Amino acid sequence: MGSRKRISNEKIQEANKSIAFAKLNNVPTSPRKMRLVADIIRGEEVQKALAILKFSKQHASDRLEKLLLSAIANWQAKNEDADVEEAGLFVKTITVDSARQLKRIRTAPQGRAHRIRKRSNHVTIVLGTKEDKVKAEDKK
Protein backbone atom coordinates (compact mmCIF):
# COMPACT_ATOMS: atom_id res chain seq x y z
CA MET A 1 0.00 0.00 0.00
CA GLY A 2 1.34 3.41 -0.92
CA SER A 3 2.00 6.09 1.65
CA ARG A 4 -0.81 8.32 0.36
CA LYS A 5 -3.37 5.55 0.74
CA ARG A 6 -2.01 4.59 4.14
CA ILE A 7 -2.28 8.17 5.40
CA SER A 8 -5.85 8.57 4.16
CA ASN A 9 -6.76 5.18 5.63
CA GLU A 10 -5.36 6.24 9.02
CA LYS A 11 -7.48 9.43 8.88
CA ILE A 12 -10.59 7.37 8.17
CA GLN A 13 -9.81 5.02 11.06
CA GLU A 14 -9.30 7.97 13.45
CA ALA A 15 -12.64 9.45 12.39
CA ASN A 16 -14.39 6.10 12.94
CA LYS A 17 -13.01 5.84 16.48
CA SER A 18 -15.18 8.75 17.60
CA ILE A 19 -18.31 7.39 15.89
CA ALA A 20 -20.53 4.81 17.58
CA PHE A 21 -22.00 2.43 15.06
CA ALA A 22 -23.18 -1.15 14.66
CA LYS A 23 -23.36 -3.29 11.56
CA LEU A 24 -25.44 -6.35 10.75
CA ASN A 25 -24.52 -8.39 7.68
CA ASN A 26 -26.47 -10.92 5.63
CA VAL A 27 -29.88 -10.47 7.25
CA PRO A 28 -32.27 -12.87 5.47
CA THR A 29 -34.93 -10.22 4.86
CA SER A 30 -35.48 -8.32 1.65
CA PRO A 31 -33.91 -4.84 1.66
CA ARG A 32 -37.23 -3.23 0.80
CA LYS A 33 -38.95 -4.66 3.89
CA MET A 34 -36.02 -3.62 6.09
CA ARG A 35 -35.97 -0.07 4.65
CA LEU A 36 -39.63 0.41 5.54
CA VAL A 37 -38.78 -0.07 9.22
CA ALA A 38 -35.46 1.81 8.99
CA ASP A 39 -37.18 4.90 7.56
CA ILE A 40 -39.45 5.06 10.60
CA ILE A 41 -36.58 5.39 13.12
CA ARG A 42 -34.16 7.52 11.07
CA GLY A 43 -33.45 10.76 12.98
CA GLU A 44 -35.37 9.71 16.10
CA GLU A 45 -34.01 9.76 19.63
CA VAL A 46 -32.73 6.40 20.81
CA GLN A 47 -35.38 5.80 23.50
CA LYS A 48 -38.21 6.69 21.12
CA ALA A 49 -36.71 4.51 18.37
CA LEU A 50 -36.49 1.55 20.76
CA ALA A 51 -40.14 2.01 21.71
CA ILE A 52 -41.17 2.18 18.05
CA LEU A 53 -39.25 -0.99 17.22
CA LYS A 54 -40.52 -2.87 20.25
CA PHE A 55 -44.18 -2.35 19.38
CA SER A 56 -43.85 -2.63 15.60
CA LYS A 57 -45.44 -5.67 13.98
CA GLN A 58 -42.92 -6.04 11.16
CA HIS A 59 -40.51 -8.95 11.36
CA ALA A 60 -37.55 -6.69 10.54
CA SER A 61 -38.12 -4.56 13.65
CA ASP A 62 -36.85 -7.34 15.95
CA ARG A 63 -33.46 -7.42 14.27
CA LEU A 64 -33.22 -3.62 14.10
CA GLU A 65 -34.03 -3.35 17.80
CA LYS A 66 -31.21 -5.74 18.64
CA LEU A 67 -28.84 -3.82 16.33
CA LEU A 68 -29.78 -0.49 17.91
CA LEU A 69 -29.08 -1.90 21.38
CA SER A 70 -25.69 -3.04 20.10
CA ALA A 71 -24.92 0.45 18.79
CA ILE A 72 -25.85 1.93 22.18
CA ALA A 73 -23.54 -0.56 23.91
CA ASN A 74 -20.74 0.41 21.51
CA TRP A 75 -21.29 4.08 22.35
CA GLN A 76 -21.16 3.30 26.08
CA ALA A 77 -17.90 1.40 25.61
CA LYS A 78 -16.29 4.48 24.03
CA ASN A 79 -17.81 6.95 26.52
CA GLU A 80 -17.66 5.11 29.82
CA ASP A 81 -18.27 8.14 32.03
CA ALA A 82 -21.20 9.57 30.01
CA ASP A 83 -24.88 8.74 30.49
CA VAL A 84 -27.10 7.74 27.56
CA GLU A 85 -30.06 9.95 28.57
CA GLU A 86 -27.91 13.04 29.17
CA ALA A 87 -26.01 12.64 25.90
CA GLY A 88 -29.21 12.80 23.88
CA LEU A 89 -28.35 10.01 21.47
CA PHE A 90 -30.27 9.79 18.23
CA VAL A 91 -30.12 7.66 15.09
CA LYS A 92 -27.88 9.80 12.89
CA THR A 93 -27.83 7.54 9.85
CA ILE A 94 -29.19 4.13 9.07
CA THR A 95 -28.43 2.45 5.76
CA VAL A 96 -29.85 -0.74 4.31
CA ASP A 97 -27.85 -2.18 1.41
CA SER A 98 -28.62 -5.28 -0.57
CA ALA A 99 -26.47 -8.34 0.04
CA ARG A 100 -26.17 -11.75 -1.58
CA GLN A 101 -29.15 -13.41 -3.22
CA LEU A 102 -29.90 -17.09 -3.01
CA LYS A 103 -31.23 -18.22 -6.36
CA ARG A 104 -33.69 -21.10 -6.25
CA ILE A 105 -35.85 -22.85 -8.80
CA ARG A 106 -39.62 -23.39 -8.48
CA THR A 107 -41.40 -25.76 -10.77
CA ALA A 108 -43.89 -24.28 -13.23
CA PRO A 109 -46.49 -25.77 -15.56
CA GLN A 110 -45.57 -27.55 -18.79
CA GLY A 111 -42.07 -28.53 -17.68
CA ARG A 112 -40.85 -24.99 -17.15
CA ALA A 113 -39.07 -23.50 -14.15
CA HIS A 114 -39.30 -20.10 -12.50
CA ARG A 115 -36.40 -18.51 -10.66
CA ILE A 116 -36.93 -17.35 -7.07
CA ARG A 117 -34.52 -14.83 -5.60
CA LYS A 118 -34.24 -14.98 -1.82
CA ARG A 119 -32.82 -11.59 -0.96
CA SER A 120 -30.79 -10.49 2.05
CA ASN A 121 -29.33 -7.19 3.24
CA HIS A 122 -26.68 -5.36 5.26
CA VAL A 123 -27.75 -2.79 7.86
CA THR A 124 -25.54 -0.08 9.40
CA ILE A 125 -26.64 2.24 12.23
CA VAL A 126 -24.63 5.32 13.24
CA LEU A 127 -25.53 7.16 16.45
CA GLY A 128 -25.05 10.86 17.06
CA THR A 129 -25.37 13.15 20.09
CA LYS A 130 -27.08 16.49 20.63
CA GLU A 131 -23.73 18.21 20.07
CA ASP A 132 -23.43 16.60 16.62
CA LYS A 133 -26.93 17.77 15.76
CA VAL A 134 -26.14 21.35 16.80
CA LYS A 135 -22.88 21.36 14.80
CA ALA A 136 -24.69 20.09 11.70
CA GLU A 137 -27.35 22.80 12.01
CA ASP A 138 -24.72 25.52 12.46
CA LYS A 139 -23.00 24.49 9.23
CA LYS A 140 -26.24 24.99 7.31
Write down the pLDDT at residue 16.
Answer: 76
Per DSSP, the residues of 34-83 read: HHHHHHHHTT-BHHHHHHHHHT--STHHHHHHHHHHHHHHHHHHH-TTS-
Structural domains of the chain sorted by starting position, each given as residue range(s) with its CATH number in brackets? 20-139 (3.90.470.10)
Task: Read off the pLDDT band of 12 (50, 70, 90).
Answer: confident
Report the alpha-carbon angle 80-20-125, nearest 5. 140
Confidence (pTM): 0.84
Q: Is the pLDDT of residue 67 over 90?
A: yes
Average pLDDT rounded to a whole number, residues 19-23? 91
State the average pLDDT for the chain. Answer: 91
Task: Read off the pLDDT band of 35 (50, 70, 90).
Answer: very high
Task: Read off the pLDDT band of 133 (50, 70, 90).
Answer: low
Average pLDDT rounded to a whole number, residues 73-80? 89
CB within 8 Å of 120: residues ≥ 6 apart: 26, 27, 28, 29, 30, 98, 99, 100, 101, 102
d(CA 41, CA 60): 12
Q: Is the pLDDT of residue 30 over 90?
A: yes
pLDDT digit string (tens) for 87-116? Answer: 889 999 999 999 999 999 999 999 999 999
Average pLDDT rounded to a whole number, residues 20-49? 95
